[in-house]
Chains A and B, each alone.
Chain A
Amino acid sequence: EVQLVQSGAEVEKPGDSLKISCKAFGYSFTNDWIHWVRQMPGKGLEWMGMIYPANSDARYSPSFEGQVTISVDTSISTAYLQWHSLEATDSAMYYCARQGVYGALDYWGLGTLVTVSS
């Protein structure tokens, strides 16, 4: 069974760095793109970027380019989303999802809630 298991909720201060994770089970991790999606409180879904684990080819939405870093560790079938300096506006739920046929995101993690507050 395909599962994406995300790391737990985080509470951070502005300026902190953070790396959240998404561990894949039940399929060949290297063969499918992994996407990250942001959802701010009470708002819609925003596509942040994606990575192809086999070669770490990462692509970003223009809105998030330079703001976050997406990476993988294929030895443990895990994708990461990283910030070097958090802002209060980064407070949101972050989902990882696997890309299936025709670009559809067919399996999703449960989300990681990130709260940034002084």
Chain B
Amino acid sequence: EIVLTQSPGTLSLSPGERATLSCRASQSVNINYLTWYQQKPGQAPRLLLYGASSRATGIPDRFSGSGSGTDFTLTISRLEPEDFAVYYCQQYGRTFGQGTKVEIK
């Protein structure tokens, strides 16, 4: 079973700053099957990126993804107030990472 490890656990940033979130897999992941989600308190998760870098419908272009093999990155170019949330990576609709919380500094 592939294990996904996200880092950091918490990221404290100010609005307007750039956020870089990491997702590392215990073995190589098919790039097509690496997915990122956003979850806000009291809400269901929302699909952000699929195929490591393709934005889901309605996701603004300040969200981008990159990576291959075992190392993947979610970047938020300039944080908006609504972006403070928890972000999860997932491989092939199955294993989730433990999440990275992006909080207001």
Contact = CB atoms under 8 A, between A and B. Distances in A.
Contacts of B47: 100, 104-106
A38 to B, nearest CB: 10
Interface in A25-82: 33, 35, 37, 44-47, 50, 61-62
A102 B51 contact: yes
Interface stretch (B12-20, B68-76, B77-85, B94-102): B94-102
B1 A62 contact: yes
A47 B90 contact: yes
A102 B90 contact: no
A105 B35 contact: yes
A101 B44 contact: no
Interface residues of A, number: 24
Contacts of B46: 108
Nearest to B35: A104
A33 B93 contact: yes
A105 B38 CA distance: 12
B33 A44 contact: no
A44 B99 contact: yes
B63 interface: no
Given A45-B99, A103-B35, A105-B35, A110 B44 contact: yes
Most B CB contacts (10 A, CB to CB) among A47, A50, A110 go to A47
Interface string A12-32: 000000000000000000000
Contacts of B27: none
Interface of B: 1, 32-33, 35, 37, 39, 44-47, 50-51, 56, 86, 88, 90-99
Given A44-B96, A45-B39, A103-B92, 4 more contacts: A45-B90, A47-B96, A100-B50, A105-B37
19 contacts: A44-B96, A45-B88, A45-B96, A45-B99, A47-B90, A47-B95, A97-B45, A100-B47, A102-B33, A102-B35, A102-B50, A103-B92, A104-B51, A105-B35, A105-B47, A105-B90, A105-B93, A106-B47, A111-B44
